[in-house]
Structures are given as C-alpha cells and as structure tokens.
Chain A
Amino acid sequence: MSDKLLEIEINHSLKTANGTLPMEISLSVPVGSILAVTGPSGSGKTTFLRQLAGLAQPRSGHIKFGEQLWLNTESAFNLPVQNRRIGFVFQDYALFPHWSVRANLSFALDKGAGREVIDELLQAVDLVELADRKPHQLSGGQQQRVSLARALVRKPDLLLLDEPLSALDHSLRASLQDLLLRFHRKFGFTMIIVTHDLGEIFRLSNQVIIIEDGKILKQGTPAEVYLSDQDISEGIIIYGEVLSCQKQKENLLLRALIGQHIKEIYVPLHMADDLLPGKSFALRYNPGDSDIMLIKN
C-alpha cells in the first residue's frame, strides 16, 4: 500500500423497484489496498462499480486515482473507460463466446504489447492446456479463471470484481480467493470486490463498506465493522439457510445449513412464520441465557 489514495465522491439517483433513491457515496481508499463492498441486492453496489470503471456516469461526482483524475463532473471531465487502467471481472464472466481462451486474453493486449504476458497468465491460472478451448467447453470455475486472467492482461491499476465467486462452490471459492491474493501481491493493484460472503470479506479485504439504499452504512476494517458490533458482544450470530422446519410442542425444530453443515436448532414457536424452507436467516444466541432471537431473515 502507498500514501496515494483512490478518492471517490459520487452523487446519483438510483433506480430501484421502489422508485428512485438518492445515491451518495464518499470514500477514499489507499491505493494498493483491497476494499470489499457488501450490502443487500439493489442497494447500488454494481452501479458503484460501473461508475468507478467508467461504464456509467454518476449525475455528479469526482473520482481521482492517485495523481490521475478520472472524473470531475464540475469541469465536465470524464476519462473514458478505455483509458482508466482498470480490469473488470463480471458476474457472468462475459467471456467472448466465439473465441478460444487464448484469443479472449489476446484481445485485451494493447497495441505493441508483448505476448509473453498471455502465457504467464495462462500458466498462473493453470489453463495452459485448455487455452484452445472455447468458453462453453469450460466449467464455471475455469471460466472464472479465464475472466480473471483476461482482466489482468493490461496490468490494471484497479481491479473491480462484481460478485465474481458467487456462482462457485466452497472449495473453488477458496482456491480462487488464494489466486486473487497471489495476484494482488504480485501486481500490487488496488482491488474492489463486491461480495456477500462474510468469510470472503475477512479473508481478502483490508477495508469493507456496507452499502444500503445507496449510502454507506458502515465502513472500516472487517474487524471494526463486524466484530465490534453490539450483536457480537451480546452473543453469537448464526447465519444459515432453512432446509426444513417442524413444530414440536412449544418449539420449532429447525434443520438448517450452517456453513457447510446441516444442524438442528430448536427455536421458539413464534418465529415459525418467518422461517420457511429456502430462506436465509441470522439468529442471535446468548450463551448466558437460553434466548434465541431472529435478527434477520
């Protein structure tokens, strides 16, 4: 990390299912750090990322990466996306379906740039043998690695990732997180990743912001944001997904997926309306007293 900052000030109006919301995000991140962006869907995370990339323009705002000005709506300055040295990993990977893996990467080369970087990256993401395959002949994890490698061909200053690992299973996630950290160490880019996975936030990021309804709700290191939380000091929070529930006398027997394990939990019957199979939940459990509270579902 350096003393340089990525300074962001964005004002926009966010179109949501419930009408338009004012979006106001003001933030500065040390260049070279990893910022996680999280929050409920529809809260403006993807819009934020696209505005940073230059794929969308906020109504007004100011973005500066180190010494380089990217956006200043007051002076009507907007550095085009092509000139903001960024890499973008899309949620749907956005691989070019008509080209091989190698061609997907080569397309990203700037004019006159050496081709060695393609082989290096293919090796780094372990895809040398699959370099001649088309994207549809690859698995999800492999496609994601291609998309990551492609985003790194131009050696970006800022790597933006929009829920890149959400479609992958746990073991693949872990190996891709490793890969991201390795690349981050090697290339030293600034990284902004949108994710819903708490483990991922702690594993990858130095900074996290929670965006809700277009505004930053909380900001800090993952520990500051999540561990000093009152919810924690008052007990343990269990995040999970309901698989089945069954009424048993005064209690509800909940079978839920917690992490990668199926657990049985007895909760008070009054929660029965909120806990339905397929729903995700957060329960607060106080070891001191036997009270279990539903804090989110």
Chain B
Amino acid sequence: MDWQPLFLTFKLATITSLILLVIALPVAYWLAFGKFKGRGIVEAVIGMPLVLPPSVIGFYLLLAFSPSYWVGAWIENLIGVRLVFSFPGLVIASVIYSLPFMVYPLRAGLQSLPVSLQDAAYTLGKGRFETFYKILLPNCKPAILTAFVLTFAHTVGEFGVVLMIGGNIPGVTKVASVAIYNEVEALNYAAANQYALVLFAITFAILLMVYSINNRLLRVRQTA
C-alpha cells in the first residue's frame, strides 16, 4: 500500500488546523463580544462552507487560483506561488472550507464563560488582550480542543474541494480521500478498502480521545 496519500492528508489537516486556530481565535472573540453592525453578514460568510456544496467552493477557488484569470495571476505574481494544483493552494482552500468548524465552537466556548470573569479582570486593571489570553482562553480549553479536532477531522474528510483545485498529483495533492476515489474508479476495491479502513480507524481514535478528554475536563468543572 502507498502511504503517501495518508501522510499528505494528515499533513494538510495539521497545517490547516494550526493556521485556522490562529485566524479563528480573534474572529471568534470578535463575534462573541464585539459590538458592530453587519454581524449577520460576517456570520453568513463564515458559515457558507457548512451548507454550500464543496464543488461550488472548489469551482470558485479554481477560478480564483487559476493564472488564466486576473486574481490568480495577481496572487501568483505577488507571492510567486501557483496555487492551483499545488499543496499551498490546498491549504488555503482547506482553511476557507473549514473556517466555521473552528470559529463556531470557539465562539460558543467564549460565550459560555460568565461575563463577570472578563469584568473582574478589567476592574483589576487588565486590558482586553491580557484578559483574553490569561483568563478567557485557559477557561475554554474544551472548546479549543473540540474546535481543533473538528477542523482536523473535517479537513481529513475533504474531497470535493480538493479534487476541484488540487487534482490528483501523487505526493502533492493526492490526499487519501482522492486516492480512495481513484482506486474505486479503477475497480481496485482492496486498495480502496485499505485507505478507507485506516482513515476510519484514525478518525474514530481521534474523536474518542477528544470526547474522553473533554468529559474529564467537564467533570472537573462540574465538581467545582
């Protein structure tokens, strides 16, 4: 069995989740506590990947990344990387596609904390940023873990978007889900089964781990 697609899948999922964690924390904070007009628009845009067919997102990203169109050409000029059919392109697409899976649990976690915790920190002379990373973040660990793992798992399960903009280049864009599709197309069911089984087992193990850790964290909190 060729392990490369699996390796690529987990590399993509790890990088995507780490980038998203950095991007989503301020966004989630802003959505949870910010007072601004047009919140509905921002929320709708972030939530789009939840409901849109992946092929729609993939199609527009394909247009955006393609050097035959001005956006893609402009990006390629700017950063010197061709995004379409490349690994960096996959990462960017995955970040966009998995954004709600990171933002929503983080926002829910932040909102579930008593407001008085923030207020108390402010009355003790602390600013927003210090309050955020010293008080709020440590107290929503279960939400951070959930968000990270959901994002990771969602990226592992990506298929449509990847196929549209990444294609099927071994070692570059051929992730496990695409490899399974290829093997099935070639009527090579045994190989497809191997990939599928590994994905199945690893995904289950990850979710099991998260739920046990979260349950433990919640139990600690409930005995509080």
Query: Which chain A residues have a beta carbon within 8 Å of chain B's beta carbons?
Result: 50, 53-55, 81-83, 86-88, 90-92, 94-98, 107-108, 110, 134-136, 150-151, 153-154
Contact = CB atoms under 8 A, between A and B. Distances in A.
Given A87-B123, A150-B124, A94 B116 contact: yes
B212 interface: no
22 contacts: A82-B126, A82-B127, A86-B123, A90-B120, A92-B116, A94-B114, A94-B119, A96-B121, A96-B139, A97-B139, A97-B224, A98-B138, A98-B139, A107-B126, A107-B134, A108-B125, A110-B125, A134-B224, A151-B123, A151-B124, A154-B124, A154-B125
Contacts of B116: 90-92, 94
A243 to B, nearest CB: 32
A87 B221 CA distance: 27
B30 interface: no
A81 B122 contact: yes
B117 interface: yes
B114 A53 contact: no
Chain B's interface: helix, strand, loop or mixed, by majority? helix
B68 interface: no
Nearest to A147: B120
B135 to A, nearest CB: 6
Given A88-B119, A97-B139, A150-B124, 11 more contacts: A81-B123, A83-B125, A88-B120, A91-B116, A98-B138, A98-B139, A108-B124, A110-B125, A135-B224, A136-B224, A150-B120
Interface in B121-173: 121-127, 134-135, 138-139
A108 B120 CA distance: 10
Contact of A94 (B120, B134, B138, B223): B120
Nearest to A83: B125
Contacts of A90: 116, 119-120
B143 to A, nearest CB: 14
B102 to A, nearest CB: 22
A82 B124 CA distance: 7
B66 to A, nearest CB: 48
Contacts of B139: 96-98
A164 to B, nearest CB: 12
Contacts of A151: 123-124
B218 to A, nearest CB: 13
Q: What are the 9 A-B residue pairs with the smallest beta carbon separation, nearest first?
A: A136-B224, A94-B116, A94-B120, A88-B123, A108-B124, A90-B116, A98-B138, A81-B122, A82-B125
Contacts of A86: 123
B60 to A, nearest CB: 43
Nearest to B116: A94
Contacts of B120: 88, 90, 94-96, 150
Given A92-B114, A92-B116, A98-B138, A136 B124 contact: no
A65 to B, nearest CB: 15
A90 B119 CA distance: 9
